[in-house]
Amino acid sequence: MDTLNGKLSKAGAIHKVEDGFKNLPSMQVPGCEAFIGDSLANPEGSAISSGFFELKASEPLIYEYTYDEMKVVIQGEFILTDQATGEVTHAKERDVLFFPKGTTVKFETTDYALGFYTGHRSFAP
């Protein structure tokens, strides 16, 4: 797996890219300040539904992924625990996450978190 921008790390099956929005290459469009770069390029062979996920300080949510999903943290911080390994990662605003199919994750936040997701699934959650 490749990352063009940012620092790639893993906590169990959870892939995380920190600072993937920094130092993006220019799209080279005259007069336009447009920049683009892949944070994760086809992680684990993934192929896509989207929406928002909001979590308020409360009991943790334990969720099993029956599909591949990517998520961008828009606001706040998610505390994620890979239930298979016990490994924990903290995902803050602008971090990009990948959850492979079959991963079970405990989601927590100390206050509030909002994420945008794109998943490879054909059903409503």
Summarised one tens digit per residue, pLDDT across range 62-102 is: 889 998 989 999 999 999 999 999 999 999 999 999 999 99
Strand runs labelled E in 1-125: 7-11, 14-18, 50-56, 61-64, 69-82, 88-92, 96-99, 104-108, 112-119
Q: What is the CATH number of the domain that holds 104?
A: 2.60.120.10
Q: What is the pLDDT of residue 35?
A: 59
What domain count does the chain have? Answer: 1
Q: Quick check: 3 pLDDT over 60?
A: no
Q: Per residue in 28-53, pLDDT tens?
A: 757 646 554 555 555 566 556 777 78
Does the residue 104 lie in any domain?
A: yes
Position 23 scores a pLDDT of 75
Q: Is residue 77 part of a domain?
A: yes
Contacts 24+ apart (CB under 8 A), 81-86: 81/105, 81/106, 81/108, 82/11, 82/12, 82/13, 82/14, 84/12, 84/13, 85/11, 85/12, 85/13, 86/12
Sole residue written with tokens 């600072």 = 19
Which residues, other chains included, contact 25 with Cβ-Cβ below 8 Å and sequence gap of 6+?
Answer: 4, 35, 36, 37
Residues 105-125 have pLDDT tens digits of: 999 999 988 888 888 876 654
**Containing structural domain, residue 86:** 7-119
Residue 27 has pLDDT above 50, yes or no: no
Residue 83 within any structural domain of the chain? yes
